[in-house]
A and B are shown apart, each in its own frame.
Chain A
Amino acid sequence: MIVLDHTLRTVALGSATLGLLAGMLGAFAVLRRQSLLGDAVSHAALPGIVLAFMLTGAKTPLVLMVGAALAGWAASLLVMLIVRTTRVKTDTALGLVLSVFFGGGMVLMSVVQRSAGAGQAGLESFLFGQAAAMLSDDLITMAVLGGVVLLVLTLLWKEFKLLSFDPAFAGALGLPVRVLDVALTTLLVIAIVTGLQTVGVVLMSALIVAPAAAARQWTDRLGVLVLLSGFFGAVSGLAGAVLSSVVPRLPTGPTIILVVTSITVLSLFLAPRRGLLAAEVRRWRQRRELVADHVLADLFRLCSQHDDPTAAPHGTEVLQAMSPRAGVRRSLEHLAQRGLVIAVDGGWTLTADGLTAGHRLVHGGEA
């Protein structure tokens, strides 16, 4: 029974927790157009991890996570600093910081590996994650971090909402915008660092952006968005962990990312209102109404030549001749469903409602 497997339970719970955190904080990052910040922070964490190992010689997750958090945090502050003090724009600053930190991390890593031998190869697992290495202790660390993040998010909810929507107004109200900005970014860094061990620095940004992008498709409320985004993240973590334990040789981190990407793609297509499919259906409906209006107007012109326009059936062929396009017959059936036309003696004529509607189409205004 897989549910009883202790390792799997640990990995699944851990992955779900990190998915939850990444999803919730990712929602804010996406709304504040800082999706790339997650990417920069997670890549920037690498030198922190390696440096933490070099300085302490320990491979304890907690130590490495602190190193990752410090480096990620320093990177995000550096981005803010560059944007504020130079002409460099945010996207460029993010790219700059990301590549410099990540490159530095790779260099440090090769230094460690050369000097310390194959024994330290474990650090490499931080590139793409290694969920199987997760221990119960790590789970406790994650739970505590997650609790802190949720608590701060709840306490500062309205401030974070205003900061995300209208920072200038927040500043005018006297809110310490910069402090809040740093606080929210710090929470994001915590969420990212939590996921590094499982998903790795390279793929972590997907877990920040994808659940939020998916959730945005389904709701127009910030509260629902954040919860749904967290839910999508958690489900992805859980599903990824279970899938990779069922299918042999399937790595957990990348599987999680594939699951969350699938959720996002489905959401982009299927969501009501914002989904691509819904938009297509809307367009199709509009076209159908337009064609139907056209046919109705034609029939009105024909019928209104008679004394009683509601008892003057005309054949489908006539209407087809008037608008030589496909769909006249279907339009007539659609109009009949709406009660505007009626089939009489093998032809079509207007109903009383149809007469009014036709008059409005042809002459404008009320009949």
Chain B
Amino acid sequence: MSHAVSVNDLTVAYRERPVLWDIDLDVPSGKLMAIMGPNGAGKTTLIKAILGLVPTAAGAVEIHGKAYAENRHLVGYVPQRGSVDWDFPTTVLDVVMMGRYGALGWLRRPGRREREQAMSALTKVGMDDFATRQISELSGGQQQRVFLARALVQDAQVYFMDEPFQGVDARTERAIIDLLKELREQGRTVVVVHHDLQTVTEYFDWVTLLNVRRIASGPVDTTFTDENLRLAYGGRVEFLQRQAPADPAPDDDSTAGYGRIRP
């Protein structure tokens, strides 16, 4: 069986500085995988590079054995909640239907079928009562659920989610992880940028530790080790394990200090 995601020699550079260096990654099908690493390790960039949203200096991505462009329709995406303007004049239902725009193609407008799909996705995330709400009225957790619903209507085989647990309450986190596990049970693959070291073993069965380079990738039992954590996080790992990072900033150009690479 081919891998759900296969990344080869992926390199992304911001100016002369590499943000991701020569990443090789194979994610078997049906896994729930966490991407972990310190701030500026390139976690968000890795997802965006896989999705073709940032220019890459080198490398190739395959989804279920075919080039990314060919199998793009198998991919679903949940961007960081903070990446959009939630005061945009639109409704919850409308946002969720955007997940169907790719399948709809040009010139066709979302109709009754799309509305039904969106409604059932909203029901799944417990947001069906909010369908007609203006999105600016949502709380952080509700925004995250709406983004998840939008990804669900994509009906993808491989999902990439950028910090879906960021700033949500415990109940929503529970609901989201249940949903992710349900997706895995259906044989889908879910790749999640994650921050909380405490919950990795409980939530995920596969993990990739990243710090510009790939530090380690594999089953949580054998990969999520102190040794690997030290390699990824540097000497701060004991501190991190005692006290999980509370409010990690989104990845940007703050790679300074981590793994500056001299080719």
Contacts and interface: CB of A to CB of B under 8 A. Distances in A.
Contact of A225 (B52, B89, B106): B89
A220 B89 contact: yes
Interface stretch (B2-10, B78-86, B116-124, B200-208): B78-86
Interface stretch (B22-30, B94-102, B210-218, B233-241): B94-102
Given A31-B89, A220-B89, A165 B102 contact: no
Contacts of B53: 168, 171-172
A159 interface: yes
Interface string A169-180: 111111100000
A159 B105 CA distance: 10
A157 B108 CA distance: 10
A93 B75 CA distance: 35
A270 B227 CA distance: 63
Contacts, number: 72
A155 B109 CA distance: 9
A222 B90 contact: yes
A271 to B, nearest CB: 13
The residue in A31, A158, A175, A222 that gathers the most chain B C-beta atoms within 10 A of its C-beta is A158
A171 B126 CA distance: 27
A136 to B, nearest CB: 34
Nearest to B78: A169
Contacts of B107: 155
Contacts of B73: 174
A222 B75 CA distance: 28
A125 interface: no
A173 B84 CA distance: 16
Main secondary structure of the interface of A (DSSP, over half): helix
B95 A174 contact: no
A171 B101 contact: no
A31 B136 CA distance: 14
B77 interface: yes
A216 B89 CA distance: 8
A164 interface: yes
A166 B83 contact: yes
Interface in B233-256: none
Interface in B114-173: 134, 136, 150
A100 interface: no
B65 interface: no
A211 B70 CA distance: 43
Nearest to B77: A172
A222 to B, nearest CB: 5
Contacts of B88: 31, 164-165, 222
B110 interface: yes
Contacts of B85: 31, 33, 165
A178 to B, nearest CB: 11
A216 B95 CA distance: 18
A219 B89 contact: yes
Contacts of A173: 72, 77, 101-102
B60 interface: no
Given A169-B79, A172-B53, A162 B98 contact: yes
B48 interface: yes
Nearest to B69: A174
A174 B90 CA distance: 22
A363 interface: no
Contacts of A9: none
A224 B89 CA distance: 9
A225 B134 CA distance: 14
A216 B77 CA distance: 29
Contacts of B220: none
Given A158-B109, A158-B110, A220-B134, A174 B89 contact: no
Interface in A134-183: 155, 157-159, 161-162, 164-166, 168-175
Contacts of A220: 89-91, 134, 136
Interface of B: 48, 51-53, 69, 72-73, 75, 77, 79, 83-85, 88-91, 95, 98, 101-102, 104, 106-107, 109-110, 134, 136, 150
Q: Give 4 closest A-B pairs by Cβ, nearest first.
A: A173-B102, A172-B77, A220-B134, A172-B51
Interface of A: 31, 33, 155, 157-159, 161-162, 164-166, 168-175, 216, 219-222, 224-225
16 contacts: A31-B85, A31-B88, A33-B85, A158-B98, A158-B110, A162-B101, A166-B79, A168-B79, A169-B98, A169-B150, A171-B51, A172-B53, A220-B91, A220-B136, A222-B88, A224-B89
